[in-house]
Amino acid sequence: MTPSFAWTTADRSALQDELLTLLCQVAYKEGDFLLSSGQRSTYYINGKQVTLHPQGGLAVGRVLLDLIPTDTVAVAGLTLGADPIVTAASVVAAYEGRSLTALIVRKEIKDHGTQVFIEGPTLPAGSPVVVLEDVVTTGQSAMKAVDRLREAGYVVTQVISLLDREQGGAEFYAQQGIEFQAVYTIRDLQARWKVLHA
């Protein structure tokens, strides 16, 4: 991460490049890890190290906002990984004159209060919502959010992720008829990591 980098004003290409470096520096680790999908891996990406980082969160919001269709009413994601991403995209959108409601989808319904799966303002049925994710492996986590949002009456046809581990997620979404985009692939990340650690 360049100390004097202009996170608030850099163009998307420069911002995306700097964000990739930040991912390598604070989120990527090598070793033996058990993933939420149940698979074992020789590397791990803790996306929250970037999405909760002050400059990283801003960059994630700016980069993702460019990928979100202009007719989108809300961005949503499965708690906890998507919480900072959804919030960043919504806040950055407001600064850019767009209105994007942030919705957080719970994994389990709470047994008190309003007992809802989806936190955030209630939107009209048929509202177009894009699901955001930090890291996609098999695609199952974000699909839980898609299912809950659809059950609530929203239209969800797209998932956008910061990183695709390329372990079946894109193919899974294609089978479900969902458009999928990722800012980076694991190959992008590992290539940059090797350069930084040469």
> Percent of the chain scored above 70 by pLDDT?
95
Please tell me the predicted confidence (pLDDT) of residue 198. Answer: 85
End-to-end CA distance of the chain: 16
Per-residue pLDDT tens digits for 65-112: 999 999 999 999 999 999 999 999 999 999 999 999 999 999 887 665
Per-residue pLDDT tens digits for 113-160: 556 899 999 999 999 999 999 999 999 999 999 999 999 999 999 999
- Nearest-angstrom CA–CA distance, 22 and 55: 9
Please tell me the predicted confidence (pLDDT) of residue 35. Answer: 81
Please tell me the predicted confidence (pLDDT) of residue 37. Answer: 74
- Nearest-angstrom CA–CA distance, 25 and 41: 19
- Asked, as a colleague might, if the bond just before 80 is cis with ω within 30 of 0, I would say yes
- Nearest-angstrom CA–CA distance, 53 and 84: 10
CB half-sphere exposure, 58, CA atoms < 13 A: 12
pLDDT band at 2 (very low <50, low <70, confident <90, very high): low
CATH class of the domain defined by 47-185: alpha beta
**SS3 of the chain: helix, strand, coil, percent, to 5:** 35, 25, 35
- What predicted TM-score, i.e. pTM, was given to this entire model? 0.94
Please tell me the predicted confidence (pLDDT) of residue 114. Answer: 59
Choice among 41-50, 67-76, 110-119, 174-183 with the minimum mean pLDDT = 110-119
